[in-house]
Each structure stands twice: as C-alpha cells, then as structure tokens.
Structure 1
C-alpha cells in the first residue's frame, strides 16, 4: 500500500501533511483485509493497479486520503471492501485538550520560553479543529489570548520617570518582540488564516489582528503615543543640530507608526510643524548673520540633509511636504532679501559657482526664477547705464560694453542653464540702457570698428578680428539710431580707403557683409559704392600710366588719383591750396585724359586726404619721407630757403591756419623732426620760424611722418549729427507720402502708427507732426474739411 502526500510550502516551515477529504461524511469507507493476509501475498513482479479512493480512520478522528491498491490475491486470500455505517466520533474533551496544547504554545512564544510541542503537531491540531467546525472558537480564543498579552505590556510604559531615550529603546524592543511573536503564532495558525479568515471578509487576518490590538492598547494610549512622538522629534532635532543619533532606532519606530497606520495623524503633522518652526527661526537669524554665498551654501546643505533623512528613516510620503517646508522657510520667505543683499555683488565679482547655486535653489521655489530674472535685468540696466552715460568713459565705452556682454552671456550660459527667458531679458536690458544716451554709443561703436580695421592694428589675428566684429555686431543690433552709426562709419571708412590705412580688405568686406545681412542692401549701398570706386580707380590709374608713357618733357612723378562718386562719399570741405607747378601740370593732364573718356562729368580736386612720398637728402644720407599733401607743400618750400617764417609758409601754401599749425607741429615737434622750430616749444605761434634740419638721423630708410589729427570738435560732431537729422527728415517725408499715396485717406493716429512701423530710427511724435505740417504746406496732402484729424492725399 502506498500513501499519497501533499507538500505544504506556504508556512514558515516545510512539512508533509495528509490531504483532507472534501466529502468527509458522504464517501467514508473502511479499508479491510483478511487477518491472515501477509506481505508475502503480494507478488513483487506484478505492477500495482491504482483504482478507487478509500478512507481509513486514523488517530482522533482525523481522516487521511489513501489510494487503494487493488492486488491480485492468491487463491486462498480475498479482499472485501465494506461501506462505513456511520462517521467516526471525536472524543468529548478533544476541543479542550487541543486548545490547551495550542494556548500553551502561544504563551510560550509570548513569554519567550521553549515549546514542548513540535510545530508540525501544532499545525496539525489547528487543521483538525478547523475541519471539525471549531474555527470560530479557535479564532476567538486566539484573539483573547493575544489581547491579554498586549494589555499586560502597557504597564511598563506608564512610568513618568522613565528616560526618553530608554523609553524609545524599550518601545522598539516591545514592537520587535511583538512582530516576531505574531510571525510565529501566524505560522502555527496558518491553516486558520487561509480557510476561516478568507471565508469571512469582516474578520482581520492574524497579522492584522496583532497590529490592531497593538495599536489599540499601546500606541493609541495618549500618554504613550505622546512620549513616542516627542522622543522621535527630540532625536531628529538633536541630529539637525549636529549630534549623532541612532538612526536604526528612528527607522524602526517610524516604521512601527507606518505599519500601525498612524504615521500621518500621530507623527507627520507634528514633525512638519516642528520643522517649520526650526527653519523659520533659523532663516531669520542666518539672513542677518551670513553673507549671501554662505547662506545659500547652508540652505543647500539643509535640503541635502532632509533628503537623507527621508532615505534613511522617514516615510517617503513625507518628502514633498518636508522639502517644501525647508524651501519655504529658508528661501521663499527671503527671496527679495537675498536678491537685494547679494545678487549685485555676485554679478559684479562674476561668482560663477555661487550664481549657479543661486539659480538651482531659486528654481525650486515658486516664482523664484521670475524674481531672479527681474533682478538680473535691473542689474544689467543699472550697470550698463553707468558705462554709457558717463562722458569720461567714452574712450573705453565700447570695450567695457563688450566685456560686460561677454560676462553676462557666460553667466546665462553657465549659471542660468541657458534659460531662454534670462537670455531675452539680457537682450532687452542692453537695448534699454545703450539707447539712454542718444547717438553717442552709435558714434563710438563706429569709431571702435575703425580703430580695429586700421592698418597697424597688431592686437589680433584675422580670426580673432572676425570674432571681435561678430561681438560688435551684437552691440550694433541694440542701437536704435543705426543711421548715426552709418554716418560715422562711412566717414572713417573713406579715410581708411583713401589714405590706405585699412588693415585688410577681407576684414573690411566681412564687416560690410555683416552690416548688409543685419540692415539690408539699402543700408550698405553707399558703402559698397565706395569699394566700387576704389576698384574702378585702379583701372583708371593703370590706363593713365600707359597714357603718360607717350607724353614728353615730364618729370618722373608717380601720381595716383582716386575718382570718387560724390553721392557715395562723405562731403569734404573744398580747400584751394597752392600746388607746385609740376603737380598742377599732372593734374591738368589727368583731367584731360579722364574727361576724354567720360564726357559730361566734372572733376573737383580734394587735397585734404592726399599723401606723397618724398626723397630727402640729409647729412646722414638719403631718406624717403611718407607724408601728407600738406606736409609735402611745406617741405618743398625748403628746397629754396633754409629758414622760413610762419607767415611766409602760410602765404606760400595757402593752407588753412589751423591745418597749417598742425602740419608744422608734426614736422618740427614730433618724433621725426625734419624741421627745427625757432624758438623751441610745443605750440606753433605767429612769430615762429622754421629751418630745415640737416642733422636729422633715423635708422630707417623710409620714414612715415604722421599728420597730427585734430580732435573731432563738438561742432564737427554736431555737423555729422545734423546731416543725419536732415537725412531722417527726408526719410520721414518719403514714408508719409508713400503711406498717403497708398491709403489716400487716413486719420492722424493711424498715420503715426504706420510711421512707427516703417521708420527704423527713433523719432518723437512732435517731429512727425512737424513733417506732416511741412508736407501740408507743400501741398503733398491736406486736412479733411469735415474732420481736421484726418488727412487726404493730394494727387
């Protein structure tokens, strides 16, 4: 006979148990054999045939399911199977004896004593009681036994004199013991848990029953609960102040509150309130004591510490409220104070790490980045205005603006995480302050470009110069009066091209391309025309030199003439000077040559920007002097005379008085003194005399003598600005006529609005009104008779 057994693997230990019958009362049968039957009656060579299922009564009424084995008996033996006439009865004291066994085991577990019964035997007893409809009694008795044990434990926590830390340790020990005990008890009563409890949803599982009773008799006791929570808050507060605490104890007790489902109501709210009080007080105190960088570091450290507490022992559900409380008390309440107290200094000193931390912390706070962006914008406007408004900084304005822009760009890129709002705020702030001083920034930017594109600028390579021009274009975009820039840029470009002082044609054309891309072809058309004139002049000079080769009786003079279109170039003041006969003769020959090819044109000579190369014989040897036309006229006078007075030189050359004085200064008072001034001195007076310096010495063969440039006077600047203003009037008139021609009839407000959209330079409403009145006076438009606030176009 072989037994079929089922392996139970759902409890805390593994064992073999007999499978209970599903139809215990209806299908019970008794398996009987002849009393003389022996083991030898089974033929070992024959395979057993498993057929029907029978039952046999074992022990105290417990049934086992057996597979009956049908064997072929010998001729003398016979197996007879008979039905059981009635169910087997349990002993009368079975329930009492079994519960005594189980209760003694439970008490042994609760009292940490040894148990006289094996776990398998106890499990079997529970299973038997459940199968014989004693589950309800069994559950009730277990509940009462567990409740009595927990109730007895409460007394140890009612002592007022118990130390807080000792109280927490004892509570944790009681909790751990309770959990271990309930695990063992549940293992024994597992069959009850999986049959009776599952069939009755209104009854708690054995584990939940233990939690409910623990919560009822210990934690929900007001005194005990208060002392537990206060003890936990005390440990956390000590840790926040730098003391070392037992984090394992904290984690265990907080897990207890979570398992008992009173973490939120009993602990979390009080914990968050204590956190709020602590950091509110700390924030107020440290904002007074610390500088902003130190305060930001402290805030970051506090946030990290609270995150670690969540990781180590707090429930994860607390994280959001906890971190929000810290951020609110240490950051949100002090956003304005932090920005007012420290942002300007951080930006001024370019404190990259501190600004990065500031941005990271403010990004955690509602409207923090909005406030930071606003303060950042205000700082740029304030700092930029000090650069632009102060006339004493005119010489360094553009370079300071470039450096300032680089610094702010780096802060936006590095510290502010390339935030688009900060980038736009930076642009808006620059555009605001750079136009606080009308026209001057545009003028100075044009002059700065001139200084970088001039020959002799050895500060940068072509690649570096290209990057610098790109940065200058960024500043140029912020300027409203771009026509002012154009006027000064054109004047300086003309000088570079005519005097040959341009550092690089490629750089010049690169800058021109950038301006064209930014402002369109109309803005650069005149500048492009200047380059075309220079290229055409080269071809004309080649043809002129071929023409001179056929001429006779001319001194060997290499003359180059630049033909300039009047509309493209700046307007130069006409100056009639006395040229040597040889030069006049060459001028006449060139004029005749040019007009023969271009009839109907008019040539007007401009000596202001002319320059020459002279060979001069000194005592030390022959030298070549690279000088201006005015310097040339003065030096050539000393071919006939050794000493000349100021008045004579003025009459002989007919050079304007101020220009002549600067010319004589450059020849007699500069580094290369080819003339001697009598008496010596820096300034040229009316009674001064000049003598050729035959003792002049210089190690170079070719010597460039720079003309002393007269500083641009306020009158000249005003003249340039006046020309710009005049051009603007023409543009306003043209825009008004275009609009009225298209609309025919338009109200005053709509016309002004249209003009603001079309004009690319800043203009005041009063200026527009004047131009409208001017056009009405000139009969380009008229007021409507019925509505004076409306204009009609006059065809």
Structure 2
C-alpha cells in the first residue's frame, strides 16, 4: 500500500485498530477491576488497588505483545512512510495510544493511588520490622552473647577464645546478609564487640599459660594477628594492647638487666673469695685480663639478649600488628625505658661494637658484621646518655687503632657514618680526627724510614703514632717513665725528625699506650714476646743482671719512675699471669711494695711467639665511678653553656621557656639535660655577662 501511495490509509487504519483493541481490553479487564467504593476500609482499598494494578499490567502485556507483532509486519512502512511524513513509528504510536486510552482520566488517579498504597504498605512492613522485630532480636542477641562471653572465658584459653569470637562475628555477618535486613548488621556487630571483646580485653591479654606473653614467647603470629584484628575493632583495644606490650617489654628487659647484674655480682664475689684465699695461703694465680674479660662477656650477653628480644618484637609488630605505628611507638618507649635503667648500658653497647669490629672474629662475614652493627644502632638510638657512650667508644676505638686490631678501615668508617647519621657531625668529629691522625702518622713513618735510609739508623726499630691530644683519650701531660738509653736514643731520633718538619709543635711520649716486640733467651729456647712499653722497660732492667739476681719493687720503681698503678699491673702480668717471665717473691697473686722479682730463666712455652697481656684494671670502684660521673657532668655543663650561648647569639632575645626547650632539643642527641641544670647554667652566664635578664624577668637578651 505504501508503494501505491496509500501509506496514509495504512498508518491511520493501524492506529484505529490499536485504539479499538485497547478499548476492548479495557472493557474486558480494567472495568471489572475498577474501584467502586472511594471511602472503603483501608484494607479493602489496598486490595482494590492491587487488583487494578494487576489488570493494568495484564492489558500492558497484551498491548506490547500485539505492538511487537505489528512492528514486524509494518517494517517497510516504518522505514519509508513514517520518516518521510515525520510521524511516530507504529511502536511509539501504540505507546501513546496506551497512555491516552488506559492511563489517563478517569483511571489515572486510581492508578496513582494504588501505586502509593503499595509503597505505603512496603514501608509499613519495614517499620514493623524496625519497631517490633529488630529490638527483640538485638535484645535476645545481647543476652545470648553476654552469657556466651562468660562461658567462653571459663572454657577456652586466649587463642581459642579469639578464634571463637572471630567465628561468631563471621557467622552473624553472614546471617544478617542472608536472613535479616542489612540495617541490622551494624547494631548486631556492635553487640558482639561490646559483649565479647570490650569487657574482656585485659582478661584475654593476661590469661595464664595462653595470654599475650605466651603468644609472644611461642611466636604465635596467627593468634597475635587475630588478637590485633579483634582489638582494633573497639576503642579501648589498641590502648590496652599498647599498655600490655610496654609492660611485658619492660618486665623482660628488667629480667635481662637483673641477670647481667647478678652475674656481675657473682663473679665479683668469686674474685674476692679467690683473693682472700690466696692471701690466706700466701700464694695464688692471677688471671690476666680477668676483670676485663668478665665485663666483656657480660656486655656481649646483655646486648645480644636485648637484640634477640628486639628482633622478636619487630617480627611480631610486622607480622601480627600490621606495622601499626602506635604499637611501634609503645614498644620503642619500653625498650628505651629498660635500657636506660641499666647504668652500664653505654659501656656494654660500646664493648659489643668493639668486639664485632676486632680482627680475628670467626664465622662472620663483613656483611654479617654490618648487619649486627645495624641492629646495635637501633639499641644505641634508645640511649639517653650518648655522651657516656662516646667516652667508652672513643677508648675502645683508640685501642683498636693503636694496636691495629680493626677488622677493616671500611668497617670502622661505616660505623662512624652510622653514628654520624644518628647524632650529627659534632658527635663523630673527634673520632674522625683519630682516623686522620692514623693516616698522617703512616705517611710520617714512611718519610722517617726514608730519612733513616740516608743516615745512621738507631739500633731499635720504632713505629710511632702521633696523636692529637684533643682527639684521643689520654693524659695531656703523659705518664712518666725513664727510658733506657737505647730507647731514649731512638725516641730522640724520631723527635728531631718530626720537629724539623713541624716547627712549633711539642711531642709528649705516652708509654702507657705503647707495646713492643722483643726476643728473650731462656735456658730451654728463645721466645718472641709482645709486651707493653712499660713491661719492656721493666724487662730491660734484668738484661745485664746475673741469673738469680733479684730487684725489689722499690728498685724497679726508682729505676723506671713508672706510676704505682701501672707498675703493679705490668709486674702482675709478667710474674703472676699465665706466662711467668719473672718470678715474684713471695709467690702470690697480687703485687705489693715489699715484693722482689727475678728473671725466670727456666721459662718455657710451646709457642715461639707469646703475647703478654697486661692485667686489666679492676672494675671501677665506687669512688672511681663517682669521679667518672663528675667528669661527665663537668663536660655536660660546658656543653650546655656552649649551646645556650650559640642559641642566644643567633636569636638575640628569647623567653625562658623557649630557651630551655631549644637547649633540651639540641642536646638530646647527646644526653637528656635537666631543666633545672639548664637554668643554673643560664644564671652562670648572666653572672659572667654573656646574657642579661629582661625587665619582665621571663626572657633574656644576648650581650655581644
């Protein structure tokens, strides 16, 4: 028909057919379902509305089914006629007819009313759930989990309790998702948290044989991770965990400290008992370096125990506590607390580093040593008195450098770099100066050997380290000692050479820091001995004496001028230790001013080369420890005053509180200054007119 120009007739006829079919469907389905009582009962009204909507849906389904078939038949008309005439396609025209004949008045109002009633009914169902069902569900759940929590605590250990609670949470989440309103999930979860977790935080952590301590001891990472996941759900969970971790770390740390102190006390008592026994019998055996070796063994054990504990808690923190920064802060505070409870912590840490940087360590590669030192730095970081550590470290480093005992120059400088990162360049300035002195000394000795090659060389070969007095831990005046003629000649030769190259300088010999290699002839064989410079001077006194000739303690002291303390230690090393190069009369462990000594010509040992270690000085007495503490306090006073002047020179004017805070901040890398001491130093600087107090009495000005 479209081809024969009858498209209009076909289009209009189809629309008429659609309208007639809609009227037929309306009379068949909608009219019987049309509401008849406007003011009917709400229930009847709702039922009538539902019937009307079902009738409309029936008509809609039939109508769209018919339209679909018509569209298939009239595709050509839609493609040609409707586009040329710009009229709706037959599908769209059919939808418009449905709106006109079915949806609009007089039925439109009733359809809208029926839809609204359906919505109101749906809302009413939710309201009933929220008003009647959910409160009962939550109330019963609360009572159930109240009993459940008590029951589980009585029947389960900590790990099992946590597993049950986590399982309950998962079950309720699934139950709410499948059977309840999604809105019930959150209040139900809160009930579980309030009844199974919040009230029992401390109980779970402190359960005997299964709580936090046991989980940590047995490396129960999964259980600890579960504990963290559950604790993080409630507000008090993480604070409770942090407190418990801090307490357990400090308790464990105190045990390590106590073990160290008790071992030290036992060994000190043992030494005292041996000494008393020796005196009673009139004889004894000195143990060279005994006190020093005891301190070293205690230090190594203490530091290793602390490192092992730090490793354990680091693994727990990363593996179970999701690297929680708040938890890390608490563990660090705890380590800092117990480490600073041990008065020898600075010395022990320095000894541990010293032991790892010495030559001759077995079973450790450079990488392993570096790893250990990295871990040690984490403990060093917790030290409050870093200036005390520096004092010990400087002494240990000086000994390694003087005796050539460093595992490598790179390892030493790597350690210095670590300390520099932690404390700044001022902390390592003197330590780096020691390395510089070693380098310059090596160059100087090479130049001196070249010089000797062109002149008459002394009989004794010498190797000198020229140490800047402000860098090295030593007496500025030098220890007195009368060198034998052959040693004095060699010393003068080097001194003249050095001063010819460095005018205006003064050399002070430090025999207490030196050592010597000598060849000694005994009846059975010859031995090469490595001894201290003092021991060398003592042994040379016996060189020209007849066999069996003795020298008294006073004779040796007069001839050598060695101080009593050093003289006794060196005589003890030569006559009372493992290798008895001299004989002491009377035989005994300690050296007294009444003793006399002879050369032991009958000495023999299986080794050709023998090192005679100087008997270590005793552990500091109470008076010596007080003297050391006083020296540290004196240094701190100078550092505090220098810091105050430096700050005020830069700022010119500061309030008291700001100045104290800034001084404490800048000095914290070395030690923790007391605000009262800072105030005293400020008063001292005011008296010396470096500062002046302002009229407000609360601030200061810098005086140029």
**Deviation at residue 725 of structure 1 after TM alignment:** 2.1
Corresponding residue of 1:601: 505
Check if 1:730 corresponds to 2:638: yes
Contiguous gaps of at least 5 residues in structure 2: 63-101, 264-297
Quick one: which of 180, 183, 193 aligns to 1:327? 193
Distance, in Å, in 2 between the alignment partners of 1:192 and 1:544 is: 116
Map 1:548-567 → 2, pairs under 5 A? 548-552=452-456, 554-555=458-459, 557-567=460-470
Distance, in Å, in 1 between the alignment partners of 2:233 and 2:508 is: 72
Cα gap change, 1:695 to 1:372, in 2 (>3 Å): closer
Corresponding residue of 2:684: 774
**Deviation at residue 739 of structure 1 after TM alignment:** 4.5
Distance, in Å, in 1 between the alignment partners of 2:519 and 2:560 is: 20
Quick one: which of 303, 307, 314 aligns to 1:402? 307
**Deviation at residue 326 of structure 1 after TM alignment:** 1.6
Distance, in Å, in 1 between the alignment partners of 2:636 and 2:481 is: 35
Cα gap change, 1:792 to 1:276, in 2 (>3 Å): closer
Corresponding residue of 1:475: 379
Quick one: which of 309, 334, 338 aligns to 2:204? 338
Check if 1:629 corresponds to 2:533: yes
Q: Is the 8 A contact 2:547 2:601 kept in 1?
A: no
Map 1:635-674 → 2, pairs under 5 A? 635-639=539-543, 640-643=545-548, 644-647=550-553, 648-674=555-581
Distance, in Å, in 2 between the alignment partners of 1:128 and 1:431 is: 91
Corresponding residue of 1:135: 33
Corresponding residue of 1:29: none
Cα gap change, 1:791 to 1:417, in 2 (>3 Å): closer
Distance, in Å, in 2 between the alignment partners of 1:701 and 1:536 is: 33
Check if 1:443 corresponds to 2:309: no
RMSD: 4.4
Map 1:288-307 → 2, pairs under 5 A? 288-307=154-173
Corresponding residue SS for 2:381: helix
Distance, in Å, in 1 between the alignment partners of 2:675 and 2:221 is: 45
Distance, in Å, in 2 between the alignment partners of 1:717 and 1:260 is: 80
Quick one: which of 614, 624, 635 aligns to 1:707? 614
User: Which structure would you say has the larger Rg?
Assistant: 1
Contiguous gaps of at least 5 residues in structure 1: 1-46, 55-64, 68-86, 88-124, 151-181, 216-256
Map 1:385-464 → 2, pairs under 5 A? 387=256, 391-392=261-262, 395=299, 396-436=301-341, 440-458=344-362, 460-464=364-368
Cα gap change, 1:274 to 1:546, in 2 (>3 Å): same
Q: Is the 8 A contact 2:586 2:595 kept in 1?
A: no
**Deviation at residue 314 of structure 1 after TM alignment:** 4.1
Q: Is the 8 A contact 1:435 1:479 kept in 2?
A: yes
Distance, in Å, in 2 between the alignment partners of 1:397 and 1:641 is: 51
With the length of structure 1 as denominator, give the TM-score of the two structures: 0.66
Corresponding residue SS for 1:331: helix
Q: Is the 8 A contact 1:434 1:441 kept in 2?
A: yes
**Deviation at residue 533 of structure 1 after TM alignment:** 0.8
Distance, in Å, in 2 between the alignment partners of 1:787 and 1:128 is: 101
Quick one: which of 267, 278, 285 aligns to 2:151? 285
Q: Is the 8 A contact 1:126 1:192 kept in 2?
A: no
**Deviation at residue 507 of structure 1 after TM alignment:** 1.0
Corresponding residue SS for 1:615: strand
**Deviation at residue 340 of structure 1 after TM alignment:** 4.5
Corresponding residue of 1:253: none
Distance, in Å, in 2 between the alignment partners of 1:188 and 1:753 is: 83
**How many equivalent pairs are there?**
604
Deviations 1:586-607 (A, max 9, x none): 0111111111111221111110
Q: Is the 8 A contact 1:674 1:696 kept in 2?
A: no
Cα gap change, 1:638 to 1:692, in 2 (>3 Å): farther
Q: Is the 8 A contact 1:745 1:791 kept in 2?
A: yes
Corresponding residue SS for 2:144: helix
Distance, in Å, in 2 between the alignment partners of 1:789 and 1:318 is: 61
Deviations 1:530-578 (A, max 9, x none): 11111111111112122223333742x3210111111111133732223
Cα gap change, 1:435 to 1:258, in 2 (>3 Å): farther
**Deviation at residue 359 of structure 1 after TM alignment:** 0.5
Cα gap change, 1:792 to 1:305, in 2 (>3 Å): closer
Q: Is the 8 A contact 1:126 1:188 kept in 2?
A: no
Q: Is the 8 A contact 1:487 1:720 kept in 2?
A: no
Higher helix share: 2
Distance, in Å, in 2 between the alignment partners of 1:128 and 1:748 is: 98
Cα gap change, 1:579 to 1:322, in 2 (>3 Å): same
**Deviation at residue 692 of structure 1 after TM alignment:** 1.7
Distance, in Å, in 2 between the alignment partners of 1:520 and 1:66 is: 97
Corresponding residue SS for 2:235: coil
Cα gap change, 1:641 to 1:187, in 2 (>3 Å): farther
Deviations 1:307-353 (A, max 9, x none): 34345544444322322222221012222433454334434554322
**Deviation at residue 515 of structure 1 after TM alignment:** 1.8
Greater relative contact order, per chain length (Cα 8 Å cut-off, separation 6+): 2
Corresponding residue of 2:224: 355
Cα gap change, 1:538 to 1:757, in 2 (>3 Å): same
Distance, in Å, in 1 between the alignment partners of 2:236 and 2:676 is: 41
Corresponding residue SS for 1:710: coil
Corresponding residue SS for 1:201: helix
Is 524-533 or 472-481 further displaced after alignment? 472-481
Deviations 1:184-207 (A, max 9, x none): x979994499979987336758x9
Corresponding residue of 1:200: 110
